[in-house]
Amino acid sequence: MAARGGVEEMRNRVILGEFGVRNNFRVDVIHMDENTLEFDMVGIDAAIANAFRRILLAEVPTMAVEKVFVYNNTSIVQDEILAHRLGLIPIRADPRLFEYKNQGDEEGTEIDTLQFQLKIKCSRNPHSARESSDPNELYINHKVYSKHITWVPLGNQADLFPDADLRPVHDDILIAQLRPGQEIDVLMHCVKGIGKDHAKFSPVATASYRLLPDITLLQPIEGEAAETLKKCFSPGVIEIQNIKGKKVARVANARMDTFSREIFRHDDLKNLVRLARVRDHYIFSVESTGVLPPDVLVSEAIKVLIGKCRRFLDELDSNHMD
């Protein structure tokens, strides 16, 4: 009996106020800048919100260095370590303009591969002072940064990307350090991949969501207790108002709370407050690595989920034809 009631409850929770009643669902962008995006999704279920989060982390494709051809590496950094570091550098290239590389293809065509070169040699600075011990003065090119990576166009890529803005997202990523006489000469092939394969392909620094807190005061709280209550929550959550000379506490902005649950350490206050979450209000926070703007990433993630469903629908249809 309990199980049946549970299923009915779940069906009703899921049908009421969902997409059957489309007015309930809304999306509000709270804050957006170049690399971060904070937005609210209200009226959606955890399964779909989580699917978007998982796709943002692991299934939105980007371009990253996959093959490193080492022609000369006399630096202290081993070949494989250098290759690993180069793979993790985010590359500013729109992955939607490229195709996935075919499995057995060794060479790499112009539609699926980007070629980069890193060629740098460290030498002694002839103009340095005699007693100086500062490496910045003594050596030239002793720090290898990502700005030293140059793009080598393949095939007709020079015509496709005339602005030649294909480079790492950040110029100041330190790759290796050299001393005079050491040199690095590598050629890198950059392909399209997804985070599921290797984390270097993940387009987000992180993507997460939390539910909107719901703080209710079960009884009016006044005076000293109101002050203590205010200190138990994050700043800005509880506001003290002066009503007829008495201090009365009021929940001003539950959104800012981080749920430290400090209130439960105070025996006099813990029964007067109810801490809960609003079940269908998700506050998403997406931080991009710079490859694509975060709002584009979210749109791409939703399109990936649509693509997955369509793939199975096509499969169903083609099976039915047979």
Q: What does the binding site for other proteins look like in residue numbers (CB under 8 A)?
A: 10-11, 14-15, 18-19, 22, 25-29, 32, 39, 41, 44-45, 47-48, 50-51, 54-55, 58-59, 295, 298-299, 302-303, 305-306, 308-313, 315-316, 319
Pick the closer one to other proteins by CB: 110 or 295.
295
CA distance 210 to 83: 36
How far is CA 142 from its chain centroid? 32
Longest pairwise C-alpha distance within the chain? 90
Minimum CB–partner distance for residue 149 and other proteins (Å): 32
Minimum CB–partner distance for residue 281 and other proteins (Å): 15
How far from 186 is each of 4, 171, 271, CA to CA, in Å? 65, 18, 66
Pick the closer one to other proteins by CB: 44 or 221.
44
Quick one: tokens of 146? 């990502």
How far from 219 is each of 205, 248, 271, CA to CA, in Å? 43, 11, 9
User: How many helices and strands, by DSSP H and E, does the chain display?
Assistant: 7, 16
Answer yes or no: are the C-beta atoms of 217 and 272 closer than 8 Å: yes
Answer yes or no: are the C-beta atoms of 92 and 166 closer than 8 Å: yes
Backbone phi and psi for residue 55, each to the nearest 5 degrees, phi listed first:
-70, -40
Beta-strand relationship, 238-243 and 246-251:
antiparallel
Cα dihedral sign, 195-197-200-201:
negative
Backbone phi and psi for residue 127, each to the nearest 5 degrees, phi listed first:
-100, 15
